[in-house]
Copies of this chain bind each other. A is one copy, B any other.
Amino acid sequence: MPVFSSRLEAASPDAAGLASSPRYVQVARTLESAIERGEYQPGNALPAERELAVRLGVSRVTVRQAIAQLAVRGLVVRRHGSGTFVAPSGPPVRIQHPLSRLTSFTEDMHSRGLSAGGRVLSFAAGHPSAQDAMKLNLSPGQQIYRVRRLRTAGGEALAVEESLLNAGRLGPLSAGDVQDVSLYALLQARGVGPVRALRQLRAVNADDELAGLLGVPVGAALLATERLAWDAAGQPVELARAHYRGDRYDFVMELRD
């Protein structure tokens, strides 16, 4: 077990005007480089927060602030009641989602031999917001279905997806209809399968709800997408918003001149 020699740079009162960073940043860097040097092996626990505080000559709050930075970046994983562990090394298993083709989550997982799972978080009929109505080419009074699902692969939560469906084009729908089957398969079966879509990607921080559903720390980076899909008749059929775990999901695409 490594011993931290000095109490950080306690005795170096930034002599030559060297910008001395806050203690918690120094602590974070100290821990990070110790991990990189292999002094703490992947899967092993770091010393307890209280012990680190004593060793480094700082308060526990400062240690926690430092570890929080490493945790949100995925270098370490905290387990309540157990310890703080160095994250499993190497590039973690990442889902490579091809972005150029119009595929569903379900198909996509199957095509790479993973069991696509899911759970319907909520299903309801309702009305679109003004903005969403515009996107779906509806008037705000027309009906939509709203399906919110948690997508999993290999038993692990990967994404939260919310779909708004044009009820008028789709016909009656009940909660049971969206339980097991792929939404895309359902749309196809009803003759309004999407043939074209526009997709936007951005990065956002997880709020506490998404964090809870996906099993990541609050603030963890998520890949957020919004996808608007049209059927063969050129009518919008689905507006889908999804949040993918940033540490598990890659979108890949090919570009040409």
Residues of chain A touching chain B, judged by Cβ–Cβ distance below 8 Å, are 21, 25, 28, 61, 69, 72-74, 94, 96, 99-102, 193-205, 207-208, 218-224, 227, 244, 246, 249-257
CB atoms of A102 and B256 under 8 A apart: yes
Known: A74-B205, A196-B254, A202-B251. 16 other contacts (CB 8 A): A61-B61, A69-B218, A72-B205, A73-B205, A96-B200, A102-B256, A194-B257, A196-B256, A198-B252, A199-B252, A199-B254, A200-B251, A203-B204, A219-B219, A221-B221, A253-B253
Contact of A201 among B100, B102, B196, B250 (CB under 8 A): B250
Across the interface, which residues of B come within 8 angstroms of A249, CB to CB? Answer: 202-203
Give me the 5 closest cross-chain CB pairs, A-B, nearest first.
A203-B246, A203-B221, A221-B221, A203-B203, A203-B223
A221 to B72 CA separation, bound complex (whole angstroms): 10
A201 to B244 CA separation, bound complex (whole angstroms): 12
CB atoms of A195 and B253 under 8 A apart: no
CB atoms of A204 and B221 under 8 A apart: yes
Contact of A205 among B99, B101, B221 (CB under 8 A): B221
CB atoms of B73 and A207 under 8 A apart: yes
Across the interface, which residues of B come within 8 angstroms of A254, CB to CB? Answer: 196-199
CB atoms of B198 and A102 under 8 A apart: no
Number of copies: 2
CB atoms of A25 and B255 under 8 A apart: no
Asked, given contacts A194-B257, A221-B221, A246-B204, whether A99 binds B102 with beta carbons under 8 Å apart, the answer is no
Across the interface, which residues of B come within 8 angstroms of A244, CB to CB? Answer: 203
Across the interface, which residues of B come within 8 angstroms of A256, CB to CB? Answer: 101-102, 195-197
Across the interface, which residues of B come within 8 angstroms of A250, CB to CB? Answer: 200-202
CB atoms of A219 and B255 under 8 A apart: no
CB proximity of A53 to chain B, nearest CB, Å = 16
Across the interface, which residues of B come within 8 angstroms of A202, CB to CB? Answer: 94, 223, 246, 249-251
A249 to B223 CA separation, bound complex (whole angstroms): 12
CB atoms of A257 and B219 under 8 A apart: no
CB atoms of B219 and A72 under 8 A apart: yes
